[in-house]
């Protein structure tokens, strides 16, 4: 089999490998010949090189998991995440603070030519309207400072946690990308359309099925975890060697339809369920 994507024999880490997009990503990487090390709160059934039980809400758990993997790392795939039905601080820790902490722990293991890709969300599209706030948060130094910032802004900014957490994956990717590239390390993220994972029912209950279905336009269906894995695996591949700091829609045309007025975002949000 040809190795145009450049994963054969490469050492990679996948978070969230238990199910959904993370599991699909880990499986695809295994099929491409990578040495895959997984991290999650629940064990994976895939034939991984190693698995670390990691709780992204706990910095010591993150540090122990990365230390157990050790050695050179060629690519990191940040696929773990929590939905908007969970406690806001848990969502913030898993979706951004823990993601950032794990990435910073892995960076010393990475050299020139390595790459990082994270799963964000179209739920984070509000980032462009409040970059100063996002930048204030993503430039906090360390775990404790990030948690303290969130605790001080729970009511006015964090709210349900999911949207703000994904905004900051997007902003941090663009911010840190300009710094990491000087070391030859790339970082990008994806914006998935609604995807048929075990969390989908939770998203539908929290936001309303009509809103989720609207975000699946113009394709008219939910994507599969395997389709989303294709996007994130491409970003970290050898074929994407010049792509850095990019927020890549993997959405069947949703962003294009939104930009050209074929989807009314205001109407979508008016239909969203209000937090209890």
CATH number of 11-270: 3.40.50.720
What are the beta bridge partners of residue 124?
none
pTM above 0.95, yes or no: no
Closest CA to 232 of 9, 2, 12, 3: 12
Say what the pLDDT of residue 198 is.
72
Residue 211 confidence (pLDDT): 77
Q: Which tokens in the block code for residue 171?
A: 């902003």
Please, is 171 exposed, middle or buried when counting C-beta atoms within 10 Å of its C-beta (0-12, 13-18, 19+)?
A: buried
Position 46 scores a pLDDT of 98
Task: Say how far apart CA 189 and CA 181 lie, in whole Å.
Answer: 15
Predicted pLDDT at 218: 87
* pLDDT of amino acid 214: 79
CA distance 59 to 61: 5
- In order along its 276 residues, the chain shows pLDDT tens digits of 579 999 999 999 999 999 999 999 999 999 999 999 999 999 999 999 999 999 999 999 999 999 999 999 999 999 999 998 899 999 999 999 999 999 999 999 999 999 999 999 988 988 999 999 999 999 999 999 999 999 999 999 999 999 999 999 999 999 999 999 999 999 999 999 888 777 677 676 666 787 778 788 889 899 999 999 999 999 999 999 999 999 999 999 999 999 999 988 777 666 655 443
Would you state the pLDDT for residue 57?
Answer: 98
275, HSE (Cβ side, Cα atoms, 13 Å): 12
The CA–CA distances, whole Å, from 19 to 66, 174, 175 equal 20, 27, 29
Facing residues of 35 across strands? 11
Instruction: Give the domain ranges of the chain.
Output: 11-270
Residues 6+ apart with CB under 8 A from 235: 115, 117, 188, 190, 243, 246, 248
What was the pLDDT predicted at 256?
A: 93
């Amino acid at each position: 089999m040809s190795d145009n994507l450049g994963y054969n024999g490469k050492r990679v880490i996948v978070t969230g490998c238990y199910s959904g997009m993370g599991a699909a990503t880990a499986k695809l990487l295994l099929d491409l010949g990578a040495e895959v090390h997984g991290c999650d709160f629940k064990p994976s059934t895939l034939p991984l090189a190693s698995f670390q039980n990691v709780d992204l809400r706990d910095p010591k758990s993150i540090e122990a998991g990365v230390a157990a993997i050790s050695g050179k790392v060629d690519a990191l795939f940040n696929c773990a995440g929590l939905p908007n039905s969970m406690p806001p601080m848990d969502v913030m820790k898993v979706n951004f603070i823990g993601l950032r902490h794990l990435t910073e722990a892995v960076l010393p293991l990475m050299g020139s030519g390595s790459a990082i890709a994270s799963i964000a969300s179209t739920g984070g599209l509000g980032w462009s309207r409040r970059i100063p706030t996002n930048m204030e948060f993503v430039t906090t130094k360390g775990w404790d400072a990030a948690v303290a910032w969130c605790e001080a802004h729970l009511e006015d900014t964090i709210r349900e946690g999911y949207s703000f957490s994904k905004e900051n994956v997007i902003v941090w990717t663009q911010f840190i990308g300009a710094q990491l590239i000087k070391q030859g390390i790339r970082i990008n993220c994806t914006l998935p359309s609604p995807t048929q994972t075990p969390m989908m029912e939770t998203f539908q209950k929290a936001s309303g099925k009509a809103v989720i279905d609207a975000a699946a336009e113009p394709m008219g269906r939910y994507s599969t975890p395997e389709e989303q894995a294709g996007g994130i695996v491409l970003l970290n591949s050898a074929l994407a060697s010049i792509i850095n700091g990019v927020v890549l829609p993997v959405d069947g045309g949703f962003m294009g339809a939104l930009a050209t007025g074929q989807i009314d975002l205001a109407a979508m949000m008016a239909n969203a369920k209000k937090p209890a």
